[in-house]
Structure 1
Amino acid sequence: MDDDRPDVLLTGLLFYDLVLTGLGKPPTPGEEIWTAGMGCGPGGIANLAVAAARFGLRTSLATVFGDDFYGAYCRDVLCDQEGIDLSLSRTADGWPTPVTVALALPHARPGSRGGTPVTDRALVTHGQEPPYSQDALMGDPPEARTALVHLEAEPREWLAKAAANGTRIYADVGWDPTQRWTTDLLDQLSLCHAFLPNETEAMAYTRTDSARAALGALSELVPVAVVTRGGDGAMAADQTTGEYAEVPALDVDVLDATGAGDVFGASFLAASLGGWPLAERLRFAVLAAGLSVRHHGGALAAPGWYGVDRWWRSLTDPDLKRAYGFLADRLPADVGPPVRHAPVTPPNPHPPVGPRASARQH
């Protein structure tokens, strides 16, 4: 409690996300489809920041806001609503905040479950390269207990500086659109304490043919290796404690999987800062990610302590009660106020059909 450093340091690109759910099928040219639901809110790096802050972690975010409605809205939500420190962030004159429209399409696999669920999404983004790089925003990064980062092919200078000043780096990695999966990226793991890719990424970067083999290869490169497996849960190895754990996903109804992997990562970090055993860290992260996919968007779907506590108190399944019994001792006495989810439109099962709708199809 006498450590006044930020618990979590983050930097990355911020988006304003508009998520449309309830589509029966993808749209085709010349066709209008009515959706059953819509939500909006901050996205991108905000997913990690909000998920961490809702677990009571002192969260410092370095990002760029546009000087437009979307930037002002995201800044207000992150700073005033979520209590995130934005002193390292900047507002750029004349630069538009990136905006993404996400179409949440029918599940790729019926019955997909929690953790990092498998769903289809189509994304359309309007945006420009930000006027400030991550290194420019960070400069000489402040000392922090941890940092949550997305590794990229081109190493960021601030990352080595942060590792050198004692910040523990928790990293994940995104999809490689070139699909070359250069193994040079794994050189950056020498700076990291933990690495949390999904199984597709883990197998591609390690040139292995199973999640378990990928985990074994990553365990030789980083102290804590985690591989998320969507509907099959997650597995991890902690070389600092000698622990290995594998946990199943939760069986949940998925509304929108946006940001579920980010919620997983932030939740795993929060439990790690608490010094929990590896199996508890994994179960907690799977639970938080599973709860998040029941709501629109990424950042504002994060459950926080309030959401986890509400789930635990309503739980009746005896098997889950046993598996998650550790929450009885882990949940704080004060779980905070109800979290605020993304503003949504009420579901409309009977969209209007008439001259206007017909005319727009021609």
Structure 2
Amino acid sequence: MSEPLPTPDGTPDDDAPDLLLTGLLFYDLVFTGLGQPPVPGEEIWTQGMGSGPGGIANLAVAAARFGLRTSLATVFGDDFYGRYCRGVLAGQEGIDLSLSRTAPAGWHTPVTVSLALGEDRALVTNGHEPPYSQDELILDPPPSSSSRGYPLAARSALVHIGSEPQQWLAKAAASGTKIFADVGWDPSRQWSSDVLDQLSLCHAFLPNEGEAMAYTRTDTPTAALHALSDLVPVAVVTRGRDGAIAVDQSTGEFAEAGALDIDVLDATGAGDVFGASFVAASLAGWPLAERLRFAALAAGLSVRRHGGALAAPGWGGVAEWWRGVAADPGAEALRREFGFLADRIPTDPGPPPPRAPVTPP
């Protein structure tokens, strides 16, 4: 087991998490191998199906599988989906749920059906606003919680910023928690600058290229990256099949990484795996180029599996892939690109992690 990480005041704390997360949890049901999109009045049989926790769980599982002590503040419904997700996250993945709550009767865990179509997917979701806000979950934890004020002790937080700032985020940043942020698509297409104003609280910002260009009013990913680098120490722009580019103003580094050339089974949650992997490598103090390549690799490995959360490769999955590359005479280019893994993979990475099962009865 790793040594206790220091809290923001420099003292070790056995209970402080490496990563704090909060957001909406979903139960995901993923269908793969569709020959064509569904058409009203027809029935399509798919070649594969998987299920598991989704939404904010994608980030939590991806981080935990890379050895980060992860604390998740979310809301579970008092239903089959909520109990199943809680069991997977706490029992199987070892994620701390002491800041999470079970909703009163009548509120159910949101459910998403994902139809994987080529390298993209279509989503159908049923759910409602949770009965507890992020601020209530983190700043007013239940009396039984052992959190001891996680925002004041967490080494980092990975957050989804939106038009409405969260109070807990400012408190966490003020206490020394390193904030990594992403952002979602704005259906109003207003791309309010109020969102970017929140970057003053952040250490790193990881939007995709469409979001980055829209919020910065630029017309290329590179121009968007440069604009964002004036607002946040570490700016990353993800580009799907074109990989990612990044700037770290604190070190003067620029880096770019290509995406893994791999057949896509299900792209659900790949961006979340990228973000969690980038955080893990950042907390380990790796150079920017290694952080970016590692995150792109983890995201690429995740799309070979069903679902979001349980497709995360973890150290076991990365080690399995690297052993294959090391033994493949035709993989010289990959060995050069990812040679740093030889010194990064733990001595005992463990086996490849559990994957998404067919939905339990």
TM-score (norm 1): 0.91
Which residue, 211, 227, 241 being the options, matches 1:231? 241
Tell me the distance in 2 between the aligned counterparts of 1:325 and 1:120: 30
Q: Secondary structure at the match of 1:344?
A: coil
- Per the TM alignment, residue 200 of structure 1 is displaced from its structure 2 partner at its CA by 0.5
Residues 169-180 of structure 1 aligned to structure 2 (within 5 Å): 169-180=179-190
C-alpha RMSD over aligned residues: 1.0
Tell me the distance in 2 between the aligned counterparts of 1:173 and 1:319: 33
- Per the TM alignment, residue 45 of structure 1 is displaced from its structure 2 partner at its CA by 0.1
Tell me the distance in 2 between the aligned counterparts of 1:243 and 1:72: 45
- Per the TM alignment, residue 24 of structure 1 is displaced from its structure 2 partner at its CA by 1.0
Tell me the distance in 2 between the aligned counterparts of 1:311 and 1:102: 26
* Match in the other structure for 2:108: 96
Which residue, 74, 81, 100 being the options, matches 1:63? 74
Residues 87-236 of structure 1 aligned to structure 2 (within 5 Å): 87-94=98-105, 95-105=107-117, 107=118, 119-139=119-139, 141-236=151-246
Q: Secondary structure at the match of 1:55?
A: coil
8 Å Cα contact 2:162-2:195 kept in structure 1: yes
- Per the TM alignment, residue 183 of structure 1 is displaced from its structure 2 partner at its CA by 1.6
* Match in the other structure for 1:325: 339
- Per the TM alignment, residue 151 of structure 1 is displaced from its structure 2 partner at its CA by 0.7
- Pick which of 192-201 and 180-189 moved more: 180-189
Which residue, 44, 50, 58 being the options, matches 2:61? 50
Letter in 2 for 1:62: A
- Per the TM alignment, residue 142 of structure 1 is displaced from its structure 2 partner at its CA by 4.0
Letter in 1 for 2:358: V
* Match in the other structure for 2:142: none
Tell whether 2:270 aligns with 1:256.
no
Tell me the distance in 2 between the aligned counterparts of 1:319 and 1:125: 41
Tell me the distance in 1 between the aligned counterparts of 2:346 and 2:124: 40
8 Å Cα contact 2:313-2:352 kept in structure 1: no
Which residue, 23, 27, 37 being the options, matches 1:12? 23
Tell me the distance in 1 between the aligned counterparts of 2:348 and 2:356: 23
Q: Secondary structure at the match of 1:80?
A: helix
Tell whether 2:88 aligns with 1:77.
yes
Q: Which has the higher contact order (CA 8 A, sep 6+)?
A: 1
Tell me the distance in 2 between the aligned counterparts of 1:149 and 1:2: 23
1:206-264 CA-to-partner distances (Å, cap 9, x unmatched) read: 00000000000000000000000011110000001000001111100000000000000
Q: Which blocks of at least 5 consecutive residues in structure 2 are unaligned?
A: 6-12, 140-148
* Identity rate, percent: 76
8 Å Cα contact 2:247-2:255 kept in structure 1: yes
1:129-161 CA-to-partner distances (Å, cap 9, x unmatched) read: 100010100116342100000111111111001
Tell whether 2:351 aligns with 1:341.
no
8 Å Cα contact 2:152-2:176 kept in structure 1: no
Tell me the distance in 1 between the aligned counterparts of 2:91 and 2:236: 33
1:101-151 CA-to-partner distances (Å, cap 9, x unmatched) read: 11111x3xxxxxxxxxxx332111111110001010011634210000011
Tell me the distance in 1 between the aligned counterparts of 2:173 and 2:282: 17
Segments ≥4 residues shifted beyond 6 Å: none
The alignment of Structure 1 onto Structure 2 pairs a total of residues equal to 333
